[in-house]
Amino acid sequence: MKVVTTIVATLSSAGFVRAHVAAFTKGMYCLNGTEPGVEDLNTNTVVNPLFQLPKNQWWMQHDRGCDSDQFRPSPGDFLELPAGGSFTIELAHNRAQTTLSYDGKFTSEWPDGKEHPEDWHSPNNRDCLLANPDGLGGAMHTHNESTAAGTAFAISYNSDISKVTMENLAVFTVLEHTPWKRLATYQVPRDLPSCPEDGCYCAWLWIPDGCGEPNMYMQNFKCRVTGSNSTRTVAPAKAPVYCGDGNAPCVSGAKQMIAWNQAEGNNVETPAGVSPGYNQKMGWQPGAQNDIFQ
Ligand SMILES: *[C@@H]1O[C@H](CO)[C@@H](O)[C@H](O)[C@H]1NC(C)=O
Ligand SMILES: *[C@@H]1O[C@H](CO)[C@@H](O)[C@H](O)[C@H]1NC(C)=O
Ligand SMILES: *[C@@H]1O[C@H](CO)[C@@H](O)[C@H](O)[C@H]1NC(C)=O
């Protein structure tokens, strides 16, 4: 019990300062954190957001070394994407609150390992769940489920991650109203072709809709497409355009990740006070993106 208390206390204090959300699953970079040779079951290295950084720092979480070969997934570990099917990952504030640590002992239905009502929301839906003084419950960056901005995965058909660019990294699936619960299931386009021998690069992506520092998330994975018969090719990705107010047409087809509120490398503009997000306001319908092919 003592061990448990220590872990939870450590998580709470870390949680207050910087708990946010990231995707935990086989194939992730920085699974063990960034201390060489140490398996950190409590790591939140991948969780910390990207804010006002030069591109060479925010791209693939270079700021914390998560693009380094040293912290790549073990050989043979891939996030598997079944063509025409779906895959499930765990959204959490810390590895400790996932099934990747402690046999899942600290998991709940929620990213913080705690219990919350099904209609979890801030008082009057006005404040942010971020401001909830409940320690680990913070930093959901939303008022309630309906205002959760949406998260996405993008894919690049390069095993060598130094070859990945904004143009060859295309968003292929969007999950609306997330991050919300711990388990999150994303749909895969049927026409996604197979990856090279050593896999593809995938990124988990999120931009919250306000509720805290306007930041972004780009997290690294080795991934591969399974069960594909497709000979199609993903088209070069174009920058998305904010079309939520009807003043500009939405961009259709393969779209880039959103680079926003960084010191450098931003690819979208929004009206003052409006966050872009992986949702219809930036031209993404929920689910598998079946229009991304040449
Ligand atoms: C994480 O640490 C464990 C235990 O040392 C090790 O078996 C595993 O290979 C490490 N995984 C990665 C991706 O570094
Ligand atoms: C690929 O072809 C096999 C055999 O015809 C079929 O069972 C499977 O459903 C196909 N996969 C996809 C993603 O269409
Ligand atoms: C969620 O919060 C928003 C923003 O305050 C509010 O407009 C909406 O009605 C809330 N949704 C639910 C289901 O309570």
DSSP 47-74: GS-B-S--HHHHGGGGGGTTTSGGGSPP
Looking at residue 46, its pLDDT comes to 97
Considering only CA atoms, which residue is closest to atom 11 of ligand 1?
74
Structure tokens at 103: 């046999």
Run of H or E including 88: strand 86-92
Atom of ligand 1 nearest to the CA of 32: 1
Considering only CA atoms, which residue is closest to atom 4 of ligand 2?
229
Ranges in the chain, pLDDT < 50: 1-18, 131-137
Pocket-testing residue among 190, 224, 229, 293, ligand 2, by greatest number of atoms within 8 A of Cβ: 229
Distance between Cα 187 and ligand 2 center (Å): 16
Distance between Cα 193 and ligand 2 center (Å): 12
With b for 16 or more beta-carbon neighbours within 10 A and e for fewer, the 189-214 pattern comes to: bbbbbbbeeebbbbbbbbbbbbbbeb
Cβ(287) – ligand 2 distance below 6 Å = no
Atom of ligand 1 nearest to the CA of 72: 13
Ligand that lies nearest to the alpha carbon of residue 129, given by its number in the listed order = 3
Ligand that lies nearest to the alpha carbon of residue 128, given by its number in the listed order = 3
Atom of ligand 2 nearest to the CA of 228: 13
Cβ(143) – ligand 3 distance below 6 Å = yes
147-204 pLDDT tens trace:
899 999 999 999 999 999 999 999 999 999 999 999 999 999 999 999 999 999 999 9
CB 216 within 8 A of CB 144: no
Cβ(74) – ligand 1 distance below 6 Å = yes
Looking at residue 256, its pLDDT comes to 98
Task: Answer yes or no: pTM beyond 0.85.
Answer: yes
Structure tokens at 259: 């680079």
DSSP 3-state assignment of 293? strand
Looking at residue 129, its pLDDT comes to 78
CB 202 within 8 A of CB 188: no
Cβ(229) – ligand 2 distance below 6 Å = yes
Q: For residue 170, what are the β-bridge partners?
A: 155
Cβ(224) – ligand 3 distance below 6 Å = no
DSSP string, 171-237: EEEEETT-S-SSEEEEE--TTPPPPPTT-EEEEEEE---SSSS--BEEEEEEEEEES------BPPP
Burial of 152 (0-12, 13-18, 19+ CB in 10 A): buried
